[in-house]
Structures are given as C-alpha cells and as structure tokens.
Amino acid sequence: MGLAAGDAAAAEGLELFPQPKILIPLIVAFWLLVPVVNRALIAPTLRVLDARAERTGGARKRAARLEESVREAIARYEHSVDEARRAAEATRRAALEEARRLAAEETGSARADVELELGRARGEITTALGEARRGLRAQSAALAREAASRVLGRELA
C-alpha cells in the first residue's frame, strides 16, 4: 500500500521545492512565531526544569547532610555503647575480685575455726584417752586379781 500511495503522489506531480510565493511568507511567519513560542512555551518549560533541578539538588544536599548527621549519631551511639561495655566489664571484674576476696576471707576464717575446733577436739580426745588408760590400768589390776583368784580358786590379798 505504501508503494501505491507513492505512485499516486508521483502521478499528481509531487513538488520537492516549494513555490517562492509561499516560501517567503512561511519563513516570515516562522521568524515571527519563534519569539512568541519561546516566550509562551520554551521559557516556562525551561524555568520549570530549572526549578525542578534546583529542588532536586537541594533535596540531594539535604539528604547528604542528613546522611552525615546519621553517621555521626551512629558513631556517637557506638562510642557510648563501647564506653558502657567497658564500664560494665570493669564493674564485673571488681565484683568478681570482691567475691573472690570475700570467699578467701570466709575460707580462711572457716579454716581457722576448723583448726581451733580440731585442736579442742584433739585436747578432749587426749584427755579422754588418758582417763581411759588410767581407768583401764585400774581395771586391769582388778581383773588380773580376779582372774588369778579364779585360776587359783582362792582370793588374793
């Protein structure tokens, strides 16, 4: 169909060069319309595009400032978290050392109490052992007399 339209235009006498009577008024109209179109369409469009670019640039600058402030806030936060961790670790270590010291004191005190009690018990045992030995000596003499009197069948004096 495209070939048929081209053939029809060639048959009617398509002119590639416009007639000078029409060309000059077209050029004059073009030059008269350029400032009007520039003022009415192109200039407002360029102003809108410039304002948009300015708003976009301003938003990007604000976003960059916000991003920097967020980075600073995160750095401050991480620093304070590190400080808190260090303080907590120092407190934990101090509490652990205090607990160890108290445990050592309690162990020492308990050991001293045990040693004292052991000494007292040893003394009591030694006293009881001495009394038992004396008692056994006295009883052994009596038992020996009784055994001898039974063996001999008579009482010993």
Checking if the pLDDT of 58 tops 90, the result is no
Q: What are the boundaries of each domain within the chain?
A: 21-129
Q: Per the confidence metrics, is the pTM higher than 0.75?
A: no
156 contacts 148 by C-beta, under 8 angstroms: yes
Q: pLDDT, tens digit, for every residue of 17-48?
A: 778 888 889 899 999 999 999 999 999 999 99
Report residue 16: phi and psi, to 5°. Answer: -85, -25
Checking if the pLDDT of 6 tops 60, the result is no
How many CA atoms, within 13 angstroms, populate the side-chain half-sphere of residue 20? 0
